[in-house]
């Protein structure tokens, strides 16, 4: 009958000899006729030698490669070396990984070095007979060696994950696989076989190749999707690594890249179905929220002891208790001592996986604008949320367009006006709400994009292209500007154009002229100040000191943000933050529309930090709240049906402990969220994707 098989792999019993297992795996890896991959096994007792190349994509745009080689080192052991290069928008990062393995792919040592990194920046793992020692830069941990475990670090290369999958299979596919990290908060990996894909590769035979599809949880935030071929090689993966969606694919499988991406999107929708089953709404149809302090978002005085009635996704009544008649038998949500506000708008998200939905909703976000993601995933998940009430905020999409070349960002390029018009039409036909232009767009292309977007009823947001400043960007048709830096740079004297560290003089004629222009044209500014703080804080400042949400976030996220920061001096960092705050306050005082977005900051909590910074800058709490409610709805021309708690509007609401008009940080204390008339528990939403909602808050003094 032969050896039993599981998912296309020979099942190798632990009762068999190590030599036999090595023979079988040597055979598995050497049987690669379909891929014509060289295999240089050096004998029955030696580990096989192999090599390969993976291509790396960011937002479906090729940005780098990963080359690996496996060589025998005697006695059934082997060494894998991996060289990775990533070139993203002019920044090139390279690194080398060395993995030492004993028989059966058992890891004994892992070391990662980033080219140009400081001498003290070390990532290494040493696995001994009884213990393992892990060093991740400043964090070090020695722990008892689990019977079965794999090595890991934040951005695991595809080749390393390939060895992880082989190890997992050899050890009978355990339901959970401990991962050796420097923190005890790291959860075991959960690897699941979820399906198969048949692909056709070019060649004379054009025979179908079958790939087995898996999901991997707890390696990154959200489930990675991994495809393995019948020879034990990782064919491709989709991941949320580095803050944006990435893909890697083995060179031989590149012709199937688009097919596998489509399969990955379908898998994500299946994962979303599972989340929907895990977290069910506590109230739907008709119900009333009674007793809360109502902050309706219009700027009106709060209503103590209020009643808000929801029916079929709409607000049908709102007012002080006693003035609103409650029908007999209506479900009541008691909210004494809490505050009820419009659902929050996250105006700068990069929505990179279905797990974003519960995380954002848990933080009270009921509408999110994506500012540059993957077309197929975004349109599919947007439709599923809209049609099926799947877990996630209502999604508004800004279609990303940049110029091509090594400095380009994303998969949609426009190097000529005609290409710009065609790109706009593609997004408009798919019902995107806006166009997001990026840094390398040329002036004539921007003018063509803006004209076509306006003709199609869309607005234009984005980065001010490098070839111009904010004055020229507005003149060429931009309606909105992402990131405060493009405003502050334009306020500098012309001789300092493009300077990142210049001091802005708000009393200068240039600064006054720009503010006046932004006000007159009602150009919407999306500062993303919280992301600037997170990405640019000094290493000497603990990130959780200003973003306590890290204490509630899953390890896969918190560890990534804790690793951010640079060599900037604390005094200089605080000066920069204060200077930016003065610009934000000046824009607000002048009447320039401001909307709140967290970019690739901490999912959910990032919007809270953004509003805290606005209050620190001088905005009244209600004004800060409006940047993420009614003001955001106005910016997207949806204020007639959303953005405030008024009769007839969409029932998007957030219920929090405390009073954010007294302490803006109380927005972090979400209890319930109502999205399109469905009421959910915040803790249940957060737990479904690894968040623990019990978190301290930052106390922000109102100016």
45-78 pLDDT, tens digit each: 344 589 999 999 999 999 999 999 999 988 889 9
Which tops the pLDDT comparison, 703 or 531? 531
* Span 621-631, average pLDDT: 98
Domains of the chain by start residue, with CATH: 5-278 (no CATH), 344-643 (3.20.20.140)
Q: What is the DSSP letter of 575?
A: H
| Residue 502 clears pLDDT 80, i.e. is over it | no
Q: Would you place residue 327 in the very low, low, confident or very high pLDDT band (cuts 50, 70, 90)?
A: very high
Predicted local confidence at residue 117, as pLDDT = 82
* Span 348-376, average pLDDT: 97
Predicted local confidence at residue 75, as pLDDT = 85
Q: Would you place residue 495 in the very low, low, confident or very high pLDDT band (cuts 50, 70, 90)?
A: confident
pLDDT digits (tens, 9 = 90+) for 85-142: 999 998 999 999 999 999 999 999 999 998 988 777 889 999 999 999 999 988 999 9
Predicted local confidence at residue 204, as pLDDT = 57
Predicted local confidence at residue 164, as pLDDT = 98
**37-51, 217-231, 244-258: range with lowest mean pLDDT:** 37-51
3-state helix, strand, coil split of the chain in percent (to 5) is: 30, 30, 40
Predicted local confidence at residue 703, as pLDDT = 56
Predicted local confidence at residue 44, as pLDDT = 34
Predicted local confidence at residue 699, as pLDDT = 58
12 Cα distance to chain centroid: 38
pLDDT digits (tens, 9 = 90+) for 381-405: 999 999 999 999 999 999 999 998 8
Predicted local confidence at residue 154, as pLDDT = 81
Q: What is the DSSP string of 244-283?
A: EEEEEEEGGGGGGHHHHHHHHHHHHHHHHHHHHHHS--SB
Q: What percent of the chain has pLDDT over 90?
A: 84
Predicted local confidence at residue 28, as pLDDT = 45
Return the closest-CA partner of residue 655 out of 254, 249, 292. Answer: 292
Rounded Cα distance, 640 and 477, in Å: 25
Q: What is the DSSP string of 140-188?
A: EEEEEPPSS-EE--SS--HHHHHHHHHHHHHTT--S-B-EE-SSTTPPP
Q: Would you place residue 178 in the very low, low, confident or very high pLDDT band (cuts 50, 70, 90)?
A: very high
Q: What is the DSSP string of 364-400?
A: TEEEEEESS--HHHHHHHHHHHHHH--SS-EEEEEEE
Which tops the pLDDT comparison, 11 or 155? 155
pTM: 0.92
pLDDT digits (tens, 9 = 90+) for 561-597: 998 988 899 999 999 999 999 999 999 999 999 999 9
The packing angle between helices 570-590 and 529-536, to 10°, is: 170
């Amino acid at each position: 009958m032969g050896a039993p098989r599981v998912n296309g792999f020979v099942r190798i019993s632990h009762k068999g000899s190590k030599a036999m297992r090595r023979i079988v795996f040597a055979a598995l890896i050497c049987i690669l006729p379909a891929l014509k991959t060289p295999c240089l096994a050096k004998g029955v007792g030696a580990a096989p030698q192999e090599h390969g190349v993976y291509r790396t994509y960011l937002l479906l745009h090729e940005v780098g490669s990963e080359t690996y080689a496996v060589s025998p080192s005697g006695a059934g052991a082997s060494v894998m070396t991996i060289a990775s290069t990533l070139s993203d928008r002019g920044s090139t990062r390279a690194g080398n990984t060395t993995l030492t393995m004993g028989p059966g792919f058992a890891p004994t040592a892992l070391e990662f070095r980033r080219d140009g990194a400081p001498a003290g920046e070390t990532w290494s793992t040493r696995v001994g007979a009884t213990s393992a020692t892990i060093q991740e830069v400043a964090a070090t941990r020695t722990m008892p060696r689990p019977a079965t475990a794999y090595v890991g670090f934040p951005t695991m290369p595809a080749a390393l994950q390939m060895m992880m999958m082989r190890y997992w299979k050899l050890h009978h596919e355990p339901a959970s696989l401990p991962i050796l990290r420097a923190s005890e908060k790291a959860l075991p990996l959960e690897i699941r076989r979820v399906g198969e894909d048949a692909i056709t590769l070019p060649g004379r035979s054009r025979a179908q190749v079958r790939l087995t599809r898996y999901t991997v949880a707890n390696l990154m935030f959200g489930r990675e999707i991994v495809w393995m071929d019948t020879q034990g090689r990782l064919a491709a993966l989709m991941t949320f690594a580095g803050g944006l969606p990435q893909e890697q694919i083995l060179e031989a499988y590149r012709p199937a890249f688009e097919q596998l991406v489509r399969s990955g999107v379908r898998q994500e929708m299946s994962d979303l179905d599972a989340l929907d089953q895990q977290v069910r709404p506590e109230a739907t149809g008709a119900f009333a929220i009674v007793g809360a302090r109502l902050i309706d978002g219009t700027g009106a005085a709060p209503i103590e002891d209020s009643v808000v009635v929801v029916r079929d996704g709409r607000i049908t009544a709102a007012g002080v208790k006693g003035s609103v008649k409650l029908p007999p038998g209506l479900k009541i949500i008691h909210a004494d001592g809490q505050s009820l506000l419009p659902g929050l708008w996250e105006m700068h998200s990069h929505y990179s996986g279905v797990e974003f939905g519960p995380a954002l909703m848990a933080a009270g976000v009921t509408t999110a604008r994506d500012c540059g993601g993957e077309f197929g995933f975004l349109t599919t998940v947007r439709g599923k949320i809209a049609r099926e009430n799947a877990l996630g905020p209502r999604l508004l999409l800004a279609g990303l367009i940049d110029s091509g070349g090594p400095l380009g960002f994303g998969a949609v390029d426009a190097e000529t006006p005609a290409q710009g018009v065609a790109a706009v039409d593609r997004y408009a036909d798919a019902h995107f709400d806006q166009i997001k232009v990026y840094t390398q767009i040329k002036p004539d292309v921007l003018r063509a994009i803006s004209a076509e977007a306006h003709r199609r009823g869309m607005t234009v947001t984005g980065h001010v292209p490098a070839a111009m400043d904010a004055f020229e960007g507005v003149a060429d048709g931009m309606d909105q500007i992402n990131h405060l830096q493009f405003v502050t740079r334009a306020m500098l004297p012309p001789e300092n154009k493009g300077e990142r560290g210049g001091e802005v003089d708000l009393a200068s004629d240039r600064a006054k002229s720009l503010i006046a222009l932004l006000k007159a044209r009602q150009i919407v500014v999306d500062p993303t100040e919280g992301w600037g703080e997170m990405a640019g804080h000094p290493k000497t400042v603990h990130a959780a000191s200003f973003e306590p949400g890290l204490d509630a976030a899953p390890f896969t996220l918190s560890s990534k943000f804790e690793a951010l920061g640079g060599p900037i001096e604390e005094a200089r960092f605080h000066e920069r933050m204060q200077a930016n705050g003065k610009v934000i306050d000046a824009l607000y005082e002048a009447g320039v529309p401001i909307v709140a977005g967290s970019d690739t900051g901490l999912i959910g909590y990032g919007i809270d930090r953004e509003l805290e910074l606005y209050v620190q800058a001088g905005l009244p709490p209600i004004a800060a709240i409006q940047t993420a409610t009614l003001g955001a709805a106005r910016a997207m021309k949806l204020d007639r049906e959303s953005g405030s708690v008024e009769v007839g509007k969409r029932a998007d609401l957030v219920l929090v402990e405390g009073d954010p008009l007294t302490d803006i940080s109380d927005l972090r204390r979400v209890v319930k969220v109502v999205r399109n008339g469905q009421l959910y528990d915040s803790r249940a939403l957060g737990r479904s994707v690894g968040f623990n909602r019990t978190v301290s808050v930052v106390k922000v003094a109102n100016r």
